[in-house]
Structure 1
Amino acid sequence: MKLAISGKGGVGKTTFSALLIRTLNEQGKHVLAIDADPDANLAAAVGIADSDKVTPISEMKELIFERTEAKPGTIGGFFKLNPKVDDLPDALSVKLDNIKLMRLGGVKKGGGGCICPESTLLKALVTYIALQRDEVVVMDMEAGIEHLGRATAQAVNKLIVVVEPGRRSIDTAGHIRKLASEIGLRNIAVVGNKIRSSKDEEFLRTHLSDLEFLGFLPYDDALIEADLNDTSPFDVDSSAKAEIKEMIKKL
């Protein structure tokens, strides 16, 4: 099962991803977790010790040079468009129980995107993970889903968009859906987060009526405290964990 998680910054996307990853792990699944959002720290949310020491692959200059035969930071010139990546998930991931986690990192790019060694290696890696790996793959994406290409989109079983009750969150969901349709990714579901009442749930259902809802997570002080204390949301007492189990059944 290959799952990509997206949504506007601040909606709780990484919290949801971490709860999903840890619950799948608890159920005995082998999970490959991919932190593809440069602004997130999935390792800390999953509960991996010394998460701040996990080096993003985009910053591994020697590795990028070795695999693409071009220096990171350069644009133009010649470099390999199909670098070897099949050994990287096992070699470069940090581990917790049955979870392997990789942090992709960001690529500094100008106006129209970047054809550079770093982005080439990351795209090749995501494509390999989506097409070839046999674990459950959970990718915590940025709202732009830019690491996904057409080939990858065919392998993603579900794009899950995390939304909160609010106009900007709904607008971002529409933007993500448009980007997804452009690469042929149409299997999309929504998770409502920070739900305070049935009114919040109804608001989201009304404004995203043409999308499948996987479920709803409550507004929970325990989850907010976990984030503030750099604790995994899975390690606090929250009704969200039961909701996640129901979503996994649907998936």
Structure 2
Amino acid sequence: MKIAFVGKGGSGKTTLSSLFIRHLAAARVPVTAIDADINQHLGPALGLDEEEAAALPALGAHLPEIKEYLRGANPRIASAEAMIKTTPPGRGSRLLRLREENPVYTACALAVALDGGREGVQGSDKGSEEVNQGGGRSDGSGARLMVTGPFNESDLGVACYHSKVGAVELLLNHLVDGRDEYLVVDMTAGSDSFASGLFTRFDLTFLVAEPTRKGVAVYRQYKEYARDFGVNLAVVGNKVQGEDDVAFLQAEVGDDLLVTVGHSDWVRAMEKGRPPRFALLEEANQRALRTMHERADKAYETRDWDRYTRQMVHFHQRNAESWGNARTGADLADQIDPGFVLGESLPAVAAGA
């Protein structure tokens, strides 16, 4: 299952995504997390200290190796350099699974043990092997974490952050995931997600909205942009302080409002770097997370690999025509493998459909 968290900057989407990841890990559900926000805060929200978070290997820094691995023996892709962020898989491409080891995870992923307290996040320099590059804990109580990397000084004034999240879109284009495993992506704030086709890559998108005019304005904008693409959207009301806030969200959001989350002493402690055990999270907020999990599981029933592949191809064609062909000096439409459909039954090296 591929899940996105979006929302206005400051709405609490990173906090909510980290709580959802902790909930999945506590339920022993295999979970991979990606921080795709320009502000890289998911690692600290999952318990990493600043030094550990800063040391996370950036997906963008390993993009050439990622492209080479995913290209595999696909005859339609002449070289890794010819791949762009929207390049779709075809026969001969290598596909990714969430529960596997591969060179991409080895280079770019960190396994984070989760229970909520600092004692649950330990590196090998602290006498434990519970945090390692490449995978999750064998007992399922942790998460595999990847990051796009922060916007650094060399990017200022000359680069667009969407170039950094291109690695995430390429990974999702080649990912074959199942029902009882999760990929959770903390996305860029506001409507920036629509600068690429990444917003169509998910089974369910949780939009975190505060009970304010600005909060619901982002919801309306997101819903309007996503209307023609069949995006499965559920709103999580955050920073809700009373019945008036709930009534406001219900009036503005309607049936898209799934749950609301209020003040949390547990979250306040987490933001100070001293979270208690996750089991001590307030029961009302635990119930909200269980409801979100149930909704995400239900989204699997409407998964459509045919539509997913068509949308992938659609955005690849648009990117090829607008900049990709000029950038690479080739007609990137030739990378599209007619009749190929991504799906769970495909082998690790795609054999087509």
Instruction: Give the alignment partner of residue 93 of structure 1, picking from 109, 115, 122.
Output: 109
TM-superposed deviation, 1:20: 0.7
Alignment-mate amino acid for residue 39 of structure 2: D
Q: Which residue of 2 aligns with 1:247?
A: 292
Which is higher, the Rg of structure 1 or of structure 2? 2
Please give the root-mean-square deviation of Cα atoms over the aligned residues, in Å: 3.2
Kindly report which structure 2 residues correspond to 1:1-251, keeping only aligned pairs within 5 A, or say none: 1-48=1-48, 50-58=52-60, 60=61, 63-67=62-66, 79-81=82-84, 82=87, 86=96, 87=102, 88-89=104-105, 91-96=107-112, 97=137, 98=140, 99-105=143-149, 118=164, 120-129=166-175, 132-134=176-178, 135-143=181-189, 144-146=192-194, 149=197, 153=200, 155-182=201-228, 184-209=229-254, 211-229=255-273, 231=275, 234=278, 237-239=281-283, 240-251=285-296
**Residues 222, 237 of structure 1: 8 Å contact kept:** yes
TM-superposed deviation, 1:188: 0.7
**Residues 266, 275 of structure 2: 8 Å contact kept:** no
Q: CA separation in 1, counterparts of 2:66 and 2:291?
A: 41
Distance 1:114 1:200, change over 3 A: closer
Q: Which residue of 1 aligns with 2:301?
A: none
Identity %: 25
> 5+ unaligned residues in a row in structure 1: which ranges?
70-77
Alignment-mate amino acid for residue 217 of structure 1: V
Q: CA separation in 2, counterparts of 1:66 and 1:245?
A: 38
Give the match's secondary structure for 1:145: helix
What count of residue pairs does the alignment treat as equivalent? 233
Distance 1:48 1:163, change over 3 A: same
The worse-fitting range, judged by mean Cα deviation, of 199-208 and 228-237 is: 228-237
Q: CA separation in 2, counterparts of 1:232 and 1:64?
A: 37
TM-superposed deviation, 1:29: 0.7
Q: CA separation in 2, counterparts of 1:176 and 1:141?
A: 13
**Residues 148, 165 of structure 2: 8 Å contact kept:** no
TM-superposed deviation, 1:45: 1.2
Distance 1:115 1:191, change over 3 A: closer
Q: CA separation in 1, counterparts of 2:162 and 2:234?
A: 31
Q: CA separation in 1, counterparts of 2:286 and 2:53?
A: 22
Q: CA separation in 1, counterparts of 2:54 and 2:282?
A: 25
Deviation string for 1:229-251 (max 9, x for gaps)?
36489475433223212332333
Q: CA separation in 2, counterparts of 1:163 and 1:20?
A: 16
Q: CA separation in 2, counterparts of 1:237 and 1:114?
A: 34
Deviation string for 1:79-106 (max 9, x for gaps)?
4234978442454211124311111235
> 5+ unaligned residues in a row in structure 2: which ranges?
69-80, 89-93, 97-101, 113-136, 297-353
Q: Which residue of 2 aligns with 1:73?
A: none
TM-superposed deviation, 1:190: 0.3
Deviation string for 1:157-181 (max 9, x for gaps)?
2111001111111111112222323
Give the match's secondary structure for 1:32: strand
Normalized against structure 2, the TM-score is what? 0.57
Alignment-mate amino acid for residue 63 of structure 2: I
Give the match's secondary structure for 2:38: coil
Deviation string for 1:133-154 (max 9, x for gaps)?
343111111132247627x72x
Q: CA separation in 1, counterparts of 2:46 and 2:261?
A: 17
